[in-house]
C-alpha cells in the first residue's frame, strides 16, 4: 500500500486566504461604488433658483405656445385577446 504525501492531503492555506481576500475586496468595492443611499437623503431646493456667481447662461426658457385647439377624449373598448 502506498502512503499519501501529507502536503497533498490538506488544502493550501495561502489559496484560501487569497480567495477570502478577493471575496472581501469585491464586496467592499460593490458597496463603495454601488451607489448605496445610506445616510441622509435630504434634497435642498431653492425657489426661485439663484444664479451662482460666475455661472454662464447656456439656455433660456422657450416662449409659451399659443393654444392650438381642443383635445377630445372618447371612450373605447379593450378588445385585446386574453
- Which tens digit of pLDDT belongs to each residue from 29-65? 887 777 656 666 677 776 777 777 888 878 888 888 8
Closest CA to 24 of 16, 73, 11: 16
Distance set, CA 2 to CA 5, 60, 68, 71 (Å): 9, 87, 95, 91
Q: 78 falls in which pLDDT band (50, 70, 90)?
A: confident
Gap between the Cα atoms of 26 and 14, Å rounded: 18
Predicted TM-score of the model (pTM): 0.30
Gap between the Cα atoms of 52 and 58, Å rounded: 13
Residue 53 DSSP code: T
Average pLDDT, the chain: 77
Q: What is the pLDDT, as a whole number, of residue 37?
A: 60
Confidence grade of residue 11 (pLDDT, cut at 50, 70, 90): low
Amino acid at each position: 500500500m502506498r502512503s499519501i504525501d501529507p502536503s497533498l492531503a490538506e488544502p493550501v492555506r495561502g489559496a484560501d486566504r487569497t480567495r477570502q481576500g478577493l471575496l472581501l475586496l469585491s464586496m467592499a468595492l460593490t458597496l463603495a461604488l454601488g451607489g448605496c443611499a445610506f445616510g441622509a437623503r435630504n434634497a435642498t431646493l431653492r425657489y426661485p433658483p439663484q444664479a451662482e456667481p460666475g455661472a454662464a447662461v447656456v439656455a433660456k426658457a422657450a416662449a409659451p405656445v399659443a393654444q392650438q385647439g381642443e383635445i377630445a377624449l372618447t371612450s373605447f373598448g379593450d378588445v385585446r385577446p386574453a
